[in-house]
Structure 1
Amino acid sequence: MKLSIDTKLRGKVFVGVGIVSNVINNDYPSELLATINNTIEDVRAKYSLDKLKDDPIIRFYRDFYWHELGIDPTKQRPAQEALLRRILRGEDLPRINPVVDIGNAASIKYLVPIGLYDIDSFSGKDLIIRYARDGETFNPIGSPKRTLSNNQIILSTIDGLILHVYPYRDSEITKIRTETKNVLIITAGVPGIDDERLLDSVQFIIDLTTRYLGGVIHARPVVVRDEGNLSL
């Protein structure tokens, strides 16, 4: 599988990527729940609601929303910030399924948006991050289909199936389900974010899925800024 970034977007977006295969995603080992809970407690000890907006990592994503996407980040918060605010208000992470919950834990730990995709749902086709074309349709998780405009950034297969509106909304078609076996991990970078943070967030997900869910590493973490082949 190859992942490319359209030349118009190189320098504006980049991603950390990895693949885990053969996961067992229909049960929660107690050790996994304990690890996720420890992550929650760690971020509660590290961050506070009133100072979160001043964190430099949060600022980089807010600036990207304002300047590249034309979205007011105080009205539509970056996905990882919204999750972290939920935790800092005393709520728990939503319980979806083990792989998604690991991704959410990584998101609040490293303050980056995490995308997780069922590889079999798009047949492992080559992918590209590009601007949408006016009129393309996208089926977001939990919402009606929507029509996109050409200022929106998307992750799609080479034949046009949209997995993600960058960097905040995933597709119903390619989402992780309990029967998912093969998982593509993408952590979304924006200017100001260092490669190590993206690599560490991917590695965190790989470590937990291989340790607790029986997964096997298929592609180790890499950062893609132009194009890359995803394999061992």
Structure 2
Amino acid sequence: MFSVRFSIDVRLRGKVFVGVGVVRNVRNSEYPGGLLSVIDDTVREVRSRYSLDSLKDDPIIRYYRDFYWHELGIDPTKQRPAQEALLRRVLRGEDLPRINPMVDIGNAASIKYLVPIGLYDIDSFGGRDLVISYARDGEVFNPIGSPRKSLTSNQIILSTVDGLILHVYPYRDSETTKMRPETRNVLIVTAGVPGIDEDRLVNSAQFIINLAVKYLGGNAHVNPTVVRDERDINA
């Protein structure tokens, strides 16, 4: 049983919100052929829908770029929003990276729905309550594939209530809580910003759950939900 209180700091309510889902008992160590076909179909779908030239004018991409500029102080033409970077890779003719089945499902969802996707190994953070808040100056984060970083107070983080950082919002996940071949229980967080509709966050999380259940043997007992302030997540 997974039960966690998921909350958003009052200073960030209205600025960020998330779709949250849980899938349990996945087999994340091998790729069923059918899953690879679904991912390839998703790549073909987005290539038929978008182009590199027109991407900057897509309203969903614009909402995340505006959030980078105005809330994070990041130039989104120099550091692309995570989902835009993935989509640009695909539109240049490259494949999505092969990491492990759950990560690859998340990446497919990200380019299909144009939202950042975070996937976290529930057992790695012990199912502790979670909060989205501003970081403290000097707080240390251990990002996937990079040295530890010292954060500043204008950065937004998803962390356990006792300080384990899962994510720098909405673009960088933690080495500590990442998907591994042995991961069994997965927390899905789809990151929203002003202008994004709730259905997009819910549908992207549901897409991930559906594929994990169908191809990785997972099970899900609750539908994804949106958190704008605080909510109990039970699965």
SS in 1 for 2:68: helix
Residue 153 (structure 1) aligns with: 156
Kindly indicate whether the alpha-carbon contact (under 8 Å) linking 1:16 and 1:195 is maintained by their aligned counterparts in 2: yes
TM-score normalised by L of structure 1: 0.99
Q: Which amino acid aligns with 1:17?
A: V
Residue 201 (structure 2) aligns with: 198
Residue 45 (structure 1) aligns with: 48
Displacement after TM superposition at 1:218 (Å): 4.1
2:172 corresponds to 1:169: yes
Residue 31 (structure 1) aligns with: 34
Residue 11 (structure 2) aligns with: 8
Displacement after TM superposition at 1:132 (Å): 0.3
Q: Which amino acid aligns with 1:192?
A: G
- Whole-Å separation in 2 of the counterparts to 1:191 and 1:117: 24
- Whole-Å separation in 2 of the counterparts to 1:7 and 1:219: 26
2:192 corresponds to 1:189: yes
SS in 2 for 1:109: helix
Candidates 129, 132, 143, aligned match of 1:129? 132
- Whole-Å separation in 2 of the counterparts to 1:221 and 1:19: 7
Q: Which amino acid aligns with 2:75?
A: D
User: Displaced runs of 4+ in structure 1, greater than 2 A?
Assistant: none
Where do residues 44-123 of structure 1 align in structure 2 (5 Å cutoff)? 44-123=47-126
Residue 231 (structure 2) aligns with: 228
Provide the aligned C-alpha RMSD in A.
0.6
2:182 corresponds to 1:179: yes
TM-score normalised by L of structure 2: 0.98
- Whole-Å separation in 1 of the counterparts to 2:149 and 2:43: 33
SS in 2 for 1:130: strand
Kindly indicate whether the alpha-carbon contact (under 8 Å) linking 1:97 and 1:177 is maintained by their aligned counterparts in 2: yes
**Which whole-Å deviations, capped at 9, do the CAs of 1:15-42 have from their partners, x for residues lacking one?**
0000000000011001000000000000
2:219 corresponds to 1:216: yes
SS in 1 for 2:224: strand
Displacement after TM superposition at 1:219 (Å): 3.6
Structure 1: runs of 5+ lacking an equivalent: none
Displacement after TM superposition at 1:2 (Å): 1.0
SS in 2 for 1:76: coil
- Whole-Å separation in 2 of the counterparts to 1:99 and 1:148: 28
Deviates more, 1:189-198 or 1:212-221: 212-221
- Whole-Å separation in 1 of the counterparts to 2:100 and 2:33: 14
Residue 19 (structure 1) aligns with: 22
Structure 2: runs of 5+ lacking an equivalent: none
**Which whole-Å deviations, capped at 9, do the CAs of 1:149-177 have from their partners, x for residues lacking one?**
11000000000000000000000000000
Kindly indicate whether the alpha-carbon contact (under 8 Å) linking 1:220 and 1:231 is maintained by their aligned counterparts in 2: no
- Whole-Å separation in 1 of the counterparts to 2:83 and 2:143: 17
The number of aligned residues is 232
SS in 1 for 2:220: strand
